[in-house]
Amino acid sequence: MTTPSRRPRPRKLARAVVAAIGALGVVVGGCATPAPRKPLEMTPIGTVPDVERTVVEPDGGTTTAPNSGTASTAKEAACTMSEIESLEQALRGCDSPMPRAGDVPAGLADKLELSVTSSAPSTTPGGRIDVTLTLKNKSNDPLALYFSGDPKPRFEVEAFDAKGARRVDLPTGKAPKTAYPPTRPAKASRITLMPGGTARVRVPWDAVKTRWAPEKVKTWEGRGPARTVLANLPYGKYQLRIALPLIAFEKAELDLPKVGVEVVP
């Protein structure tokens, strides 16, 4: 004879259900998705964070600069030279803050000597000649020279008539507004010439006259409004000089030299 199974009492059954639900909650809570981890910020080997640090100087002062105060010192040393064969190229690596009034040397006529030469005494209409300007420190002390640019200094040959009074390469009439490039921020570059040191800049010149060229304003890299070739210069004698973007340059104090060339058949 089979003994009939006992049914659980309602109170015991309720306790069992509650216990089972509690156990399930523990399991579910234990398997909950963990909070996302913050990814590690990786820094390439050999790099140094760009953090401002204060550097103690020998004279007791301090200099605040990115990473250290040695970067500007190293650049100043690299831009202090006795012989510079390509001034334009040297200035590209010698950028500098705009100088204050006290930074620019006074009396340049007594310290800086300028001379200009041409690669040939003559050329044909439309022909090319290289013009070289040499800057020499004739003082007994290092001479700091600041140049301005937008953003880099621009050197350009200017052509005058035989008397050196009238420009012959520029267009006639006033330039249209559309020929002017957008205003660009002015920046400075600095080199220091040692006593007796020289710096040279060589600029090619074409025996041509020009016209205003608004269509070239977006790609214009020269000084002033955009221009392009109009025609060859006629036969005759001309005076050439290189425009010098030297900061605090005073024409009354220091004249730009000219060199004579002739356009021949």
Q: State the DSSP string of 176-198.
A: PGGGSPPP---EEEEEEEEEEEE
Q: Which one, of 80, 84, 51, 81, lies nearest residue 68 by Cα?
A: 51
d(CA 142, CA 197): 9
> Residues 208, 202: contact at Cβ < 8 Å?
no
Peptide linkage before 10 cis (omega within 30 of 0): no
Q: Which class is domain 80-165+184-202+235-263? A: mainly beta
Q: State the DSSP string of 79-144.
A: TEEEEES-HHHHHHT-EEPPPPGGGSPS-GGGTEEEEEEES-SEE-TT-EEEEEEEEEE-SSS-EE
Would you list the domain boundaries of the chain?
80-165+184-202+235-263
Per-residue pLDDT 10s for the chain (265 aa) are 444 555 545 454 445 444 444 444 444 444 445 555 555 444 444 343 443 433 333 333 333 333 333 446 777 888 999 999 999 999 999 999 999 878 888 888 899 999 999 999 999 999 999 999 999 999 999 999 999 988 889 999 999 999 999 999 999 999 999 999 988 888 999 999 999 999 999 999 999 999 999 999 999 988 899 999 999 999 999 999 999 999 876 655 778 999 999 999 9
Enter the tokens of residue 126. 């439309």
* Residue tagged 């060589």 (tokens): 202
